[in-house]
Structure 1
Amino acid sequence: MSPFLNQIKPWVSVICISYNHASYVQQALQSVVDQDYPNVELIVIDNGSIDRSAEFITRFTERHSAIRFIQNPVNVGLNRAFNQGLALAEGRYVIDLSADDVLLPGRLSKQVAQFEKLAGPYAVVFSNAAYIDRSGREVGLHYVVDASGHARLPVPSGNVFKPILESYFICTPTMMMRRDVLNELGGYDESLAYEDFDFWVRSARLYHYAYLDEILTQKRLTPDSFSARIVYTNTTLLHSTLAVCYKAFERCVTPDEFRALAGRVRRFIRKAFYVEQFDLALEFGDLLYHIEQPDWQSKLILGLSKLHLPVNKLYRRYLKWSPVLHSAKLD
């Protein structure tokens, strides 16, 4: 990649990670190839799939020889696989694309244009997204829109460190990230089971985020998706969340930031209790005591955690009929 050309039309590195995505990976890759932005490098990593994903990727790369394809013999974890791609990436900007998601036409052009207009320490441009099911049918939007297609409620931009602690508001696959920021942070933390909350905490303390008010990505929701695992007793996601909450605790400065983190920790005390990871609930409680005195609800859940009550089946049954769709998210 010529440094001169990179100044005129910055290169974008799309790192696509596939694990048992045979049904979707070709559509994901085609959505990158079909972008109208000229300077794109596509790096595809099959992370030890046991279905036909690698076969379909190989066929695709035979038609598009510029694609770089890494085939891991075993699953090395999402974060390590992404870092493999990041080590090869040369673009100014990076997109982390799951092989079951889809980039909508014009996404790269619009996000690069937004980045190039920004002044100041911006590390991420993110957007709205449409949720699709396994068949590709749209089932909802990340941000509800008005008649003109714009988000009805304000979306945090600029310094988003406190909003990130307060709630899950960024649809992860919509992000375009600066590669130099990712490199500065050492890429994704490979000791964790997932990437986004940790990246947000570490980057948002130092840099700003910008929201582009358009639907530019389709995020696929499936019953076996990564985030859906948080409702089961064998989930490893909550252990990673506790580690990130401690990172956030070390980075909080203002009373409002500590209060925002406390609210998040209270929610994860409940989540750990619901999946019967009772010792972990108590560990979240220890962190809460470092921030503030727990409210009575949190004290009750912490007390019940010592009894090891079998609550998970009832919790999952509730989620099946509950209209509160965000209850199973990593928020």
Structure 2
Amino acid sequence: MKSVTDQSHTLPMSQYLNRIKPWVTVICICYNHEDYINQALRSVTSQTYPNVELIVINNGSTDRSAECIERFLLSHPFVQFINNPCNLGLNRAFNQGLALAGGRYMIDLSADDLLLPDRIAHQVDLFERLSGPYAVVFSNAAYIDEQGAETALHYPVDNQGRSLHKVPSGDVFQPILESYFICTPTMMMRRDVLNELGGYDENLVYEDFDFWVRSSRLYRYAYLDEVLTLKRQLPNSLSAQIILPDNRLLQSTLVVCHKAFERCLTPGEYQTLARRIRTFIRKAFYAEQFDLALQFGKLLYRIERPGLPTGMILRLSRLHLPVNRIYRQYLKYNCMGRSQHQQVKLV
């Protein structure tokens, strides 16, 4: 393999030492990210770590993303490029790259996110020091807007840059059922674990919750308490679509919840999953995906009888009430209210 990073090493033994460092494969998937793809790719080639393989996949973009990537390749000939004529879906596109990957460790990079220069070096260092069946090293991240301005941190930090709250590490299966606590683009994953799991599930429209459920039952996760990634938040991002009536995210989530149910071992894990299912019932109801809400309800009944609030939502789901527009207005005004409150506090 040929590395895409161009690091100069002046120490006498540096060339030999670099040869024994494990390779890392970065798969960058691009769909209509012409404004950001060049920055994302440069954040990979600017890594301080010497052994980095980069695979770029243009997943049927309809803008000028492919042209931007091809211009980048002129000065970075060791980058592998797959140009899909149509969008194959995120998970299938990632698996295309996984089939070509040669690194011991993998990073799934969206074309609008950025790696900070020492990210790969620091994560590999931790991975190589871990003992036991660890599959993932993840870290803190800073959120940025369309212009690249920092807006928040995934985990709030103290004056030394350390997370204010304890982040789950080790056996994280139950915490994963409880909440979204991992910032997905910060993950570095073992390639052999991905291959063992068969890659991402191509029947789903997103990857992270499913990968977490399947891998965390078998392997441990390690948290590295540093900000190593810039995660861009865009208004049209996949996660923002979950409130829309025609979104496919919740259908995939139901599939993952069934997988989680099959993997639960303790009463605590089942109860944690039940709380999460109750949340998804509400989300499906507000998205007017009423049949899906009832399917979540059937899964919930396998764990417990719904309480009064959830039972009421399930009964209302049979009436097919037009609630989505009202719900979106509520979210809009609630968001505006929080923004104004923050401005007052800043003043």
Normalising by the residue count of structure 2, what TM-score does the alignment of the two structures yield? 0.91
- Out of 229, 234, 251, the position equivalent to 2:263 is 251
- 1:148 Cα deviation (Å)? 0.8
Give CA deviations for 1:105-143 in whole Å, capped at 9, x if unaligned: 100000000000100000000000000110001111100
Deviation at 1:318, TM superposition (A): 1.5
Which residue of 114, 126, 150 corresponds with 1:102? Answer: 114
Per the alignment, in what secondary structure is the counterpart of residue 114 of structure 1? helix
1:7, CA displacement in angstroms? 7.8
1:31 has 2:60 as partner: no
Report the 3-state secondary structure (helix = DSSP H, G, I; strand = E; otherwise coil) of the residue aligned with 1:127: strand
Structure 1: distance between partners of 2:55 and 2:26: 6
Amino acid of the residue matched to residue 305 of structure 1? Answer: S
Moved more, 164-173 or 289-298: 289-298
- Report the equivalent of 1:225: 237
SS in structure 2 of the partner of residue 218 of structure 1: strand
Is the CA contact 1:6–1:92 (under 8 Å) kept in the aligned structure 2?
no
**Which one has a bigger Cα radius of gyration?**
2
Distance 1:120 1:145 in 2: 28
Q: Is 2:313 the partner of 1:301?
A: yes
- Which residue is 2:326 aligned to? 314
Q: 2:299 matched to 1:292? A: no
Note if contact 1:10-1:92 (Cα within 8 Å) is conserved in structure 2: yes
C-alpha displacement of 1:64: 0.2
Q: Write out aligned runs for 1:54-65 (5 A).
A: 54-65=66-77
Equivalent residue, structure 2, for 1:328: none
Alpha-carbon distance in 1 for matches of 2:75, 2:238: 30
Q: CA RMSD in A?
A: 1.5
State the alpha-carbon separation in 2 of the partners of residues 11 and 5 from structure 1: 13
2:30: which partner in 1?
18
5+ unaligned residues in a row in structure 2: which ranges? 3-15, 339-347
- 1:208 is displaced (CA, Å) by 0.2
Aligned ranges 1:134-149 → 2 under 5 Å: 134-149=146-161
Counterpart among 136, 141, 155 of residue 167 in structure 2: 155
Q: Give yes or no for the alignment of 1:8 onto 2:28.
A: no
Distance 1:228 1:166, change over 3 A: same
Aligned length: 324
Counterpart in the other structure of 1:205:
217
Deviations 1:4-59 (A, max 9, x none): 98982000000000000000000000000000000000000000000000000000
Give me the identity figure in percent. 69
**1:304-323 deviations in whole A, cap 9, x for unaligned?**
10111111111111212325
Quick check: 2:55–2:97 contact (8 Å CA) kept in 1? yes
2:189 alignment partner, SS class: strand
2:102 counterpart residue number: 90
What is the correspondence of 1:70-85 to structure 2 with a 5 Å cutoff? 70-85=82-97
> What stretches of structure 1 of length at least 5 have no aligned partner?
326-331
**Letter in structure 2 aligned against 1:53:** S
CA-CA distance at 1:164 after TM superposition: 0.1
CA distance in 2, matches of 1:177, 1:89: 12
Distance (whole Å) between structure 1 residues aligned to residue 108 and residue 130 of structure 2: 21
User: 177, 182, 190: which one pairs with 2:194?
Assistant: 182
CA distance in 2, matches of 1:238, 1:6: 45
Q: Which residue of 2 aligns with 1:276?
A: 288
Conserved 8 A contact 2:18-2:50: no
Kindly provide the CA deviation profile for residues 266-302 of structure 1, in whole angstroms up to 9, marking residues without a partner as x: 0000000000000000000000000111111110100
Provide closer, same or farther for how the CA distance between residues 197 and 6 of structure 1 changes in structure 2, counting only shifts above 3 A.
farther
